[in-house]
Every structure is written in C-alpha cells, then in structure tokens.
C-alpha cells in the first residue's frame, strides 16, 4: 500500500511538473528562460520510460509518462511559438 502511494505521488508530481511553466509561458508570451536542450532531453527520457512501461506491461508507468509527454509537448510547442527572434 505504501509503495503504491509513493508511486502514485511520484507519478502525479512528474505528470504535472511542466504545468507551472506552461502557465507562465502563456501569461508572459515568453520562453526566454526555457532551455530547449533540457526539453528535448527530458522528452527522450520520458519516451523511453513509456517504452519501458510497455515492455513491462505496467499501466502506471505508461499512463504517467504519456501524460508527462503530453504536457511536455505543449511546452515544446509554446517554445517554438514564442521563441521567434529571442536570442
């Protein structure tokens, strides 16, 4: 029971970890403090976690990382939308 609670808590924190940055980027229309290298590195890691979850047939790993990759994809989209000319 404790193990499940820890896993669900970790999954929830990870799934929504990019939401504050998404909200900030939408409010400011700026991504100047966002590192694209970090975004793509994290995307690759989460993608591999999804594959791992599929291979292990673990729905918690699959779902948690699928939600994470969706929120991360939104932030990547915003990065390309708002990064025009900012260097």
List, as own/partner pairs, every contact residues 15-23 make where C-beta atoms lie below 8 angstroms and the sequence separation is at least 24, other chains included.
Answer: 15/64, 15/67, 15/68, 15/71, 16/67, 16/71, 17/68, 17/71, 18/68, 18/71, 18/72, 18/74, 18/75, 19/71, 21/75, 22/71, 22/74, 22/75, 22/78
- Domain range for 7 is 2-82
Average pLDDT over residues 60-83: 94
Q: In the structure, what pLDDT confidence band is assigned to residue 38 with cuts at 50, 70 and 90?
A: very high
Banded model confidence at residue 30, pLDDT cuts 50, 70, 90:
very high
Q: Is position 38 within any domain?
A: yes
The CATH number that applies at residue 34 is 1.20.1280.290
Q: Which two tokens stand for residue 1?
A: 């029971």
Residue 87: inside a domain: no
CA 17 centroid distance within chain:
7
Q: With 70 as the cut, is the pLDDT of residue 87 above it?
A: no
Overall number of domains in the chain: 1
């Amino acid at each position: 029971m404790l193990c499940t609670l820890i896993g669900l808590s970790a999954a929830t924190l990870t799934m929504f970890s990019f939401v504050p940055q998404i909200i900030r980027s939408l409010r400011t229309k700026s991504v100047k403090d966002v590192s694209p290298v970090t975004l793509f590195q994290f995307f690759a890691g989460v993608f591999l976690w999804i594959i791992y979850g599929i291979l292990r047939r673990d729905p918690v790993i699959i779902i948690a990382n699928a939600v994470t990759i969706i929120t991360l994809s939104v932030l990547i989209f915003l990065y390309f939308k708002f990064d025009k000319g900012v260097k």
